[in-house]
Structure 1
Amino acid sequence: MSSAVIAKPLMRGLLAKRLRFHLVVAFTLSFVTAGTVKLLLGDSRKKAYADFYKKYDAMKSFEDMRAAGIFESVKPNK
């Protein structure tokens, strides 16, 4: 009968090697995700806010709310 000798697994430095690989992957994916969110959501949201405030009139909005009776401390103009 012959028995084959199984080699011991190399455990020294295994955690450091795997951790280094996973840290690189995690940072890469986080930067890619952050860039994608900025491009898809952030820039379009900034453009929508800019377009809204180009034609927004705060005084007209205030007068409309005052005429509707929303404010309790401001009397409507008669």
Structure 2
Amino acid sequence: MASSALAKPQMRGLLARRLRIHIVAAVFVSLGAAALYKFGVAEPRKKAYADFYRNYDPMKDFEEMRKAGIFQSAK
């Protein structure tokens, strides 16, 4: 009685089917992580650098550091 109630497990092609599902899932997860990094880290960092260098005066910064005594060779 009990043996007729259980279905036989499908064993042929099981690894190939599971790998196909996992590879597709891994591709979507990696694309999502790459998009999150690009828009969450890389783009704000590029914007911060652009904002900083938009008004940056290297000669003014050099003069301030020279007056503070940071450089030994430039007096």
1:21-69 residue CA offsets vs partner (Å, 9 max, x unmatched): 0010011111012112211222222111111101001111111111111
Give unpaired runs (5+ residues) of structure 2. Answer: none
Q: Alignment length, in residue pairs?
A: 74
Q: Describe the shift of the 1:65–1:3 C-alpha distance in structure 2 as closer, same or farther (beyond 3 A).
A: closer
Counting helix residues as a fraction of each chain, which structure ranks higher?
2
Q: 1:68 maps to which residue?
A: 68
- TM-score, with structure 2 as normaliser: 0.82
Give unpaired runs (5+ residues) of structure 1. Answer: none
Give identity over the alignment, percent.
55
Q: 2:17 maps to which residue?
A: 17
Structure 1 runs, 4 residues or longer, greater than 3 Å off: 5-8
